[in-house]
Amino acid sequence: MDYQKLVDEAFIASENAYAPYSSFKVGASLLLTDGTIIHGTNIENAAYGSTMCAERNAVFQAYCQGYRKSDIEALAIVGDCSPLISPCGACRQVLAELLDPYTPIVLGCKDYYEVTNIQELLPRAFIGESL
Ligand SMILES: O=c1ccn([C@H]2C[C@H](O)[C@@H](CO)O2)c(=O)[nH]1
Ligand SMILES: [Zn+2]
């Protein structure tokens, strides 16, 4: 899999970020098994808590289009930060439910990336099977 291409796609996505409050533009890109790439960006709000993160927007968009976790090959998340962006707790909780545990998650910045997964980012997650 071409992780660098997915990182590049996430940076393209970040150009559409709506981040007037933090000025911190985040981009996400999802590669699906049928080759489709879905973008997400952070969308902020004057009521700060109503902000939505880039990676949740991307995964929610995939689900809105009818895709499910088995259709998701990889997720990239990028931001202009050093060394790497790190998804917030709310996103980790959502990704634990909507991605397979070992689906590659690529965390990127301008010239460096690392590949992880949600099992590593949120071990022992609370998931629906616990209910
Ligand atoms: O993984 C992350 C981390 C932060 N943000 C956004 C939320 C907010 O708009 C801005 C600053 O926290 O960055 C994301 O979209 N994804
Ligand atoms: Zn988040």
Half-sphere exposure of residue 20, counting CA atoms within 13 Å on the CB side? 3
| Residue 88 is assigned to a ligand binding site | yes
- The average pLDDT across 49-77 equals 98
Closest residue CA from atom 3 of ligand 1: 87
pLDDT of residue 81: 86
> How much is the ipTM here?
0.99
Q: Outline where the chain has alpha helix (H).
A: 3-14, 54-64, 89-98, 118-121
Number of H helices, E strands in the chain: 4, 5
Closest among 35, 42, 41 to 21, alpha carbons compared? 42
28-55 pLDDT, tens digit each = 999 999 999 999 999 999 999 999 999 9
Domains of the chain: 3-125 (3.40.140.10)
Closest residue CA from atom 7 of ligand 1: 53
